[in-house]
Structure 1
Amino acid sequence: MKTANYKNQYIKLDTFARQGWQRLYDDGKRGLLSCHQCGSPVRLYLGITEEPYFRHHAANGTNCSDADIIEADTISDIQEEGFIEHNGFRIPKSRTVGIKESPLAYKGAQSLIASRQFTPPLSVTPDTVNKYIQKLSNSGISFDRNQEEAVISDSGPLLILAGAGSGKTRVLTARTAYMLEEKQVSPDSLMLVTFTAKAAAEMKNRLTRYPEMDQGRVSRIVAGTFHSIFYRILTFHNRGMWSGERLLKKDWMREQILKEGGRELGFDDKEFAYDLALQQIGLWKNSMILPGKVKSETPWEEKAALLYKHYEDSKSRQSLFDFDDMLLGCHRLFTENPKLLEQYQNRFGHFLIDEFQDINKVQYELIKMLSAKTNNVCAVGDDDQSIYAFRGSDPSYLLQFREEFKGTKVVILDQNYRSPHEIVETANIIIKDNTARHKKEMKAGFQLGYSPVVFYPYDEEEEATMIVTDIQERIEKGASPGDFAILFRTNTGGRAIFERLASSSIPFRLDQDSESFYERFMVKGMLAYFRLSLDEDDTEALKNIMPSLFLKPSVYRDVQAESILKDCSILAALSQVKTGFAFQEQKLKKLAAVVKKLADMSPSAAIECVEKDLGFQDFIKKRGSEGNKMDKGSDDIRDLKVAARNFATLSDFLDHADHMKKMNSEIKKLSKAFQEAVTLSTIHRSKGLEYQTVYVIGAVEGSLPHDFALDSQRNGDPAPLEEERRLLYVAVTRAKERLFLSVPLNRRGRKANVSRFLSKLKKATV
């Protein structure tokens, strides 16, 4: 039914303001909605494939029908969102007499129609019958024609373009086994490089199941990540210099060195983004750009370059090293010792490298050096899945492989064994607009009849509700929580879905590195003003507002002393502190009155007040022009505004924020304990994984593709936009059965436009 009793008045869903539907949903769970016929509680249904409606809760056991029989003239035009916030008061919006403003229309979900009909793959008899391939086949390890060609290709450079779900791990392990058994290559002369230690262990484990591949033989293969392999070489030749005790293992250890340099250069610990500088330094090092060769493009990069020099000098003085130094150190070792390089060139005759599209400059140069004599490099990768440019990865090495390694044989694995035809076709259409790629088109081995679905929630909150509702329904029908993954572009994009899952009974897991949204720098700073308004002696809140007031850390001690001497609150003492700058002292004098006023405001109004009256917007602009182009502080505050709309008081909002921080910590602890749980992840983290059902959220301009990529394209650089398209391709191809793409009509409080990556997909009403 479309009508219900709400706040002692009848409402009709079709004329109720769309932005208020989430409030109706929440109030329905609180028992504030009732049936217009029987008076029993009802709830608003917000799902993906069905239109919203009011329904009786199953637990109530009512026999009342859901028919709408109420007279139209008894329905009120109440609009829950028909008020505006002004100085903490709710004031009705003015209305035009005689003209009724139509609400934002609900847009139903749409199916994505495959442009081509499914053609079952032909059963192809191999051109050649290889004895070892036959032996593997008898053991239950079979291959299609292209896979077999990749496994048994002769020595020399080989490029295996392995599309999503094409069985590249099977091919890589089978080729390794083939070389050892059929070609009698010594395990000691074979280097198998992966991008994670887990992948290396999995490949070795698989190899032991192959005919004639015993544990002793497999263990002699030099296998592992670039870092692990080349670190072993360094420690073998100079254990003292490269002792593990000298390794800067943790980010905080490296960040500590940067902060020491920052203090020498006059940078503020609270203001400068040292974590981002650390990331930038890693990018320079992986690109083999030494401190004296950095060409800064922004004032922030100039500061980061100064820190880079200090960082390297400090490590050198203390004989310390980081993970990036393992590769650079090995490159330097070979460059300075040609005879040593020749020894390794003679030892390693074959190189098999997984995920070649993610290789960076120093890794590429090391492989070129070692393989210079034999050219026996087997590179396995997919340029359509290159998504780590921020770490220095460069797909051009894969694209230019044939030019660098003369006589390269290319084998394309274009059969997708993971996803059905409907999803594979969607992925093909998305990725084909990229220009910097090998031309290939994946084919599916089966179809299921489930078309991918695009749905249109009002905003992030409604998006989260729809997805959780859909998952609950599927679990009730027999699905397991582990069948589902919810993927987003950046960590902040998962805020609403995390909160909705946290309030549900569905088990879910997070990345261990995922911080709570409410712990983010800008968010914590904004909430600190709220905390100080409710407790004028909150010293932790004082510390967190100081960066936005451009106060040095030493001021904190002055404020404490002033508070004790004058027997006043921390907030009052802050207003009296002397900084030596008249304009800053004048601003601080006004601070206490404004902060006290926040306590009586709604969270939404309080955010606006801090932004405008306390200069937080100026702080955001300054911070935003320094450092991370991908995660802007202004975006965090816009997300906070969306979250704030759900709360009437600051205390309720702060309680919610604190609860979510604790939940984040608890979920990360419990993640390993859950046998079956919904996966909540960034797209980057999902690469290489697969799930029965995948939800991709925020498929709108500014999110996917990200604002950074759009800005780069406007400035003449199309590369970031192409990587964003590859990101969506990776997300789509994680799905084994069902795929849902969310296109919210509003994002961060503003109207959103559907992602350009979806423009060529044919849609039909579900």
Structure 2
Amino acid sequence: MIYLPAKLFEKDKNSVTQVSSLYSHIIIDEYQDINQVQQFLLRCLVGRTTYVMAVGDVDQTIYQWCGSTPYYMLEGFKKDFKGVEQYTLSYTFRYGDLISLMANNIIVNNKKRHNNLCITYPKLNKATDISILDSSDKVVLKLKALIQNGVDASDIAILVRKYNSTTVFELSCLYHDLAYSIVADKNIFSENLFKAIYGYLMLFNKGYGFDKHTLEQRVEFIKAMLDYPSLYLKKDLKQKLASQIASDISQAANCIAALKETVDKAFKQKNILAISNSWRNIFNNVRIKKADKAIDFILQSLDLEKQISKVSGETHSSKSKLQIIEGMVSFAKGKKNTLIEFIELLYQLYTRSNQQNQSNPNQIQIMSMHRAKGLEWDYVVVHDATEGGFFGDKNTKVDDEIIEEERRLFYVAITRVKKHLFIVSSDDITRLSSWYQIRKNTYPRDLKCKNSLRFLYEGNLVECENYLDKSNYHEDTKKLDNIIFKRYHDKITTEVD
């Protein structure tokens, strides 16, 4: 809708003359999200007598993939429109001082920003807590306690950088019978790869795990299995083969092997026989007793990780799929089940997932951090706040521009909360706590993918808490070492006085 009129205005200057006199005042909200085409259209609409006002926060510029950039708020607006006056919106009324202080300690590390601070209105008399936890299970238990004490599940949001990082969290929610919905994505039991791994687990011990499922459900699991690794079947043939296998699991390997008669290429026949042999090995395996060992056996027998990388390449999609497997292994290790117990548990969780009423509004919401901008909840969980969760396995080779983009995204995520922010990071919380004693909003340069996110280190949480514990609005700011605290203190002291 914007591109077409912009192209018209670019070609036809007379049309620009006509529209530039239509409006006396133009107000643009969320101006930090504007891109080049939108800015061009805005310039065309602003005439000699038009007053234009833009409202935005450069620290919330997170839609780079749509073309937004800090440039327009920092420089572009002043270059395109003359006589510009700039005003700072003084306060936030959403959350308490602790969120403001931690957010400031993080975001000041960005260079492309205005030199302003996020400040909680001093007379708000509102506290917001922050908890950093090292596992999904721990935060799920916290959320369950909140709901049991009367908190509506709809007042809780789980914010993720990547949807496929939620495997353990979703399974933990189902395990503890917490209803949830995923905004703009599918739940874990609808993920094809997850269904495939679950299917292969059921294939162990002569296909024992399939017994409790209906024929229709077995067909769906087997169709997923036929995609990992792929036999490159047409849709109707895959449906027919899955139905055939589902009616008699013991003949699965033979049914797959029979496909070699339908192809004329030797390499295709070899692939079919290799997959058939893997199915037979899994079906006949009655020795493996531990669930996590069974998953390892599946991955090795089918060479699944290599197959995923081969199909998806070194892409976000490939890494996301591998995260599903990692999450499944992590959940299995955490429960310490035997294989039979784990299959039974997955069946219970699968049944519970199907029974959840997706139209029920009182559910925990899981959504992406990008989608959460502009929204707020009483309780927010920032999930998978790890280096790998934000930067992938090349976290040490990220350029400054990407780091600033991700820092803004994290800033947006932690400022969606009103009452309590939970951050699920990694098992290096002891190191994180030690770093906080340094009292600097920086981060160690040797962080690995599985370590807590660098922005958590920058957050300087302990010093923020100590400042608030000792804070006196009439205290001399000379006693404060942290320049952010000094500026914050001066601002709130002025308001209180």
Q: TM-score, normalised by structure 1?
A: 0.49
Structure 2 CA distance for partners of 1:628 and 1:741, relative to 1, 3 Å: closer
Report what 1:611 is aligned to: 299
Report what 2:115 is aligned to: 439
Structure 2 CA distance for partners of 1:539 and 1:503, relative to 1, 3 Å: closer
Q: Helix, strand or coil: the match of 1:487?
A: strand
**Offset of 1:450 from its aligned partner?**
5.0
Which letter does structure 1 place at the counterpart of 2:132? F
Whether 1:493 and 2:165 are equivalent positions in the alignment is yes
Structure 2 CA distance for partners of 1:643 and 1:466, relative to 1, 3 Å: closer
Report what 1:34 is aligned to: none
The structure with the larger Rg is 1
**Offset of 1:528 from its aligned partner?**
4.0
Report what 2:14 is aligned to: 339
Which letter does structure 2 place at the counterpart of 1:582? A
Whether contact under 8 Å (2:181, 2:187) holds in the other structure is no
Deviation string for 1:675-724 (max 9, x for gaps)?
A: xx544433223222223333323222212x3327x55x715x32222121
Report what 1:763 is aligned to: 462
Structure 2 CA distance for partners of 1:433 and 1:388, relative to 1, 3 Å: same
Report what 1:572 is aligned to: 254
Which letter does structure 2 place at the counterpart of 1:348? Y
**Offset of 1:442 from its aligned partner?**
2.0
Whether contact under 8 Å (1:522, 1:633) holds in the other structure is yes
The residue correspondences of 1:167-186 to structure 2 (distance < 5 A) are: none
Report what 1:294 is aligned to: none
Whether contact under 8 Å (1:697, 1:742) holds in the other structure is yes
Structure 2 CA distance for partners of 1:625 and 1:668, relative to 1, 3 Å: farther
Structure 2 CA distance for partners of 1:723 and 1:438, relative to 1, 3 Å: same
Report what 1:424 is aligned to: 100
**Offset of 1:733 from its aligned partner?**
1.4
CA distance in 1, matches of 2:63, 2:140: 30
Report what 1:358 is aligned to: 33
Q: Helix, strand or coil: the match of 1:695?
A: strand
Which structure carries more helix by proportion?
2
Whether contact under 8 Å (2:379, 2:419) holds in the other structure is yes
**Offset of 1:433 from its aligned partner?**
0.5
**Offset of 1:554 from its aligned partner?**
3.8
Report what 1:596 is aligned to: 280
Structure 2 CA distance for partners of 1:353 and 1:668, relative to 1, 3 Å: farther
Deviation string for 1:638-661 (max 9, x for gaps)?
A: 112112333746565456556545
Whether contact under 8 Å (1:559, 1:573) holds in the other structure is no
Whether contact under 8 Å (1:486, 1:679) holds in the other structure is yes
Which letter does structure 1 place at the counterpart of 2:378? Q
**Offset of 1:357 from its aligned partner?**
1.1
CA distance in 2, matches of 1:630, 1:571: 27
Which letter does structure 2 place at the counterpart of 1:763? V
Report what 2:372 is aligned to: 686
Return the match for 1:518 from 189, 193, 196: 189
Which letter does structure 1 place at the counterpart of 2:69? D
Whether 1:753 and 2:437 are equivalent positions in the alignment is no
State the superposition RMSD in angstroms. 3.7
Return the match for 1:669 from 358, 377, 380: 358
Whether 1:527 and 2:198 are equivalent positions in the alignment is yes
Quick check: 395-404 or 582-591, which moved more? 582-591
CA distance in 2, matches of 1:590, 1:722: 47
CA distance in 2, matches of 1:433, 1:359: 23
Q: Helix, strand or coil: the match of 1:346?
A: coil
Return the match for 2:391 from 687, 706, 711: 706
Structure 2 CA distance for partners of 1:706 and 1:466, relative to 1, 3 Å: same
Which letter does structure 1 place at the counterpart of 2:54? A
Deviation string for 1:200-251 (max 9, x for gaps)?
A: xxxxxxxxxxxxxxxxxxxxxxxxxxxxxxxxxxxxxxxxxxxxxxxxxxxx
CA distance in 2, matches of 1:343, 1:658: 65
Q: TM-score, normalised by structure 2?
A: 0.73
CA distance in 1, matches of 2:69, 2:59: 12
Whether contact under 8 Å (1:624, 1:633) holds in the other structure is no
**Offset of 1:432 from its aligned partner?**
0.7
CA distance in 2, matches of 1:353, 1:559: 52
Which letter does structure 1 place at the counterpart of 2:193? M
Whether contact under 8 Å (2:382, 2:424) holds in the other structure is yes
CA distance in 2, matches of 1:663, 1:489: 26
Return the match for 1:465 from 130, 137, 145: 137
Q: Helix, strand or coil: the match of 2:21?
A: helix
Between Structure 1 and Structure 2, how many residues are aligned?
424
Higher relative contact order (CA 8 A, sep 6+): 2
Structure 2 CA distance for partners of 1:393 and 1:746, relative to 1, 3 Å: same
CA distance in 2, matches of 1:759, 1:561: 52
Report what 1:415 is aligned to: 91
CA distance in 2, matches of 1:372, 1:402: 16
Whether 1:387 and 2:75 are equivalent positions in the alignment is no
Which letter does structure 2 place at the counterpart of 1:690? E
Report what 1:543 is aligned to: 223
Structure 2 CA distance for partners of 1:370 and 1:611, relative to 1, 3 Å: same
Structure 2 CA distance for partners of 1:665 and 1:424, relative to 1, 3 Å: farther
**What is the aligned-residue identity percentage?**
25
Report what 2:411 is aligned to: 729
The residue correspondences of 1:608-647 to structure 2 (distance < 5 A) are: 608-625=296-313, 627-628=315-316, 632-645=320-333, 646=335
**Offset of 1:483 from its aligned partner?**
4.3
Any stretches of 5+ residues in structure 1 without a counterpart?
1-325, 458-462
Report what 2:132 is aligned to: 455
Report what 1:40 is aligned to: none
CA distance in 1, matches of 2:197, 2:455: 35
Which structure carries more strand by proportion?
1
